[in-house]
Amino acid sequence: MSQRPVCKIGPSILNADLSNLHHACEKMLDSGADYLHLDVMDGHFVPNLTFGHPLVKCLRPKVPDAFFDMHMMVANPTEWVEPMADAGADQYTFHIEATSDPTTLSRKIKEAGMKVGIGIKPGTGVEAVLPYVDAADMILVMTVEPGFGGQKFMADMMEKVRVLRQTFPEMDIEVDGGVGLTTIDQCAQAGANMIVSGSAVVGASDPKAVIAQMRAAVVKGLDK
Ligand SMILES: O=C(CO)[C@H](O)[C@H](O)COP(=O)(O)O
Ligand SMILES: [Fe+2]
């Protein structure tokens, strides 16, 4: 029996007040977030630095029930699988551009007890990820060049989402970058069901309303 993908909204706390991350996460969860998208940048894979597994380990007991989707923008994703699992990560999303062996890496992530996400940058064609979809729980289509929050949504990435949704009707497909109230309809119509939104939610005066509106758009898109 086929299963319809479920809409999940995952705020990115990249542009939140990182000095009070626990509070920022709780605010998002209280506003209706289904999961938290945590952006790890190493200064090599992308020209920016954020945080690593020590911070995740500290955050885990503060928000024990939250699902942590780790967006690993790192040059050596194999290196951080075990430290992230030990820190309490639930899903480990690596970039296909950062590994020559996605199958072995996916297996390692599963053996460490986490779900597998595979991300593609805007310049990477969707064909690159197709052979590995069976090994993954989720495919991430980047809608900005990874590295910074607050960038402009790239609408031409929606074709990748459409291809993935047509080929894999039950798959979790995540979009990340510049997603907010003005761009959510495009994501929803293309078939995305996991929605990362940073600035548009974290910077909103009423994050609960923004999350609810995005959810309504995605549910409508999945129903069609
Ligand atoms: O991976 C990312 C950047 O590389 C972030 O998750 C993303 O940019 C979210 O922030 P915003 O919604 O502000 O674009
Ligand atoms: Fe991200």
Give per-residue pLDDT as tens, 82-116.
999 999 999 999 999 999 999 999 999 999 999 99
- CA 171 to chain CA centroid, nearest Å: 14
**Distance from the alpha carbon of residue 197 to the mean position of ligand 1, in angstroms:** 7
- pLDDT of 2 above 80: no
Binding residues for a divalent metal cation: 37, 39, 71, 176
| DSSP assigned state of 178 | S
Binding residues: 12, 37, 39, 71, 147-150, 176, 178, 198-199
pLDDT at site 160: 98
- Percentage of residues of the chain with pLDDT beyond 70: 99
* pTM over cut 0.80: yes
142-200 per-position pLDDT tens digit: 999 999 999 999 999 999 999 999 999 999 999 999 999 999 999 999 999 999 999 99
Question: Tokens for 219?
Answer: 């549910």
pLDDT at site 195: 98
Which active-site residues does the annotation give? 39, 176
Give the number of residues written for the chain.
224
Confidence of residue 39 (pLDDT cuts 50, 70, 90): very high
Question: Tokens for 77?
Answer: 């994703």
198-222 per-position pLDDT tens digit: 999 999 999 999 999 999 999 999 9
pLDDT at site 145: 98
When the pLDDT of each residue in the chain is averaged and rounded to a whole number, the result is 97
Closest CA to 39 of 55, 23, 58, 22: 55
Q: Give the number of whichever ligand sits closest to the CA of residue 214.
A: 1
Q: Are 45 and 98 in contact (CB under 8 A)?
A: yes
Tell me the C-alpha distance between 88 and 57, whole Å: 6
Confidence of residue 57 (pLDDT cuts 50, 70, 90): very high
Averaged pLDDT, 131-138 = 97
- pLDDT of 3 above 90: no
Confidence of residue 224 (pLDDT cuts 50, 70, 90): confident
**Strand blocks (E) in the chain:** 8-11, 36-41, 68-73, 91-95, 115-120, 138-142, 172-176, 194-197
User: What is the CB < 6 Å shell around ligand 1?
Assistant: 12, 14-15, 37, 39, 71, 144, 146-151, 176-179, 196-200
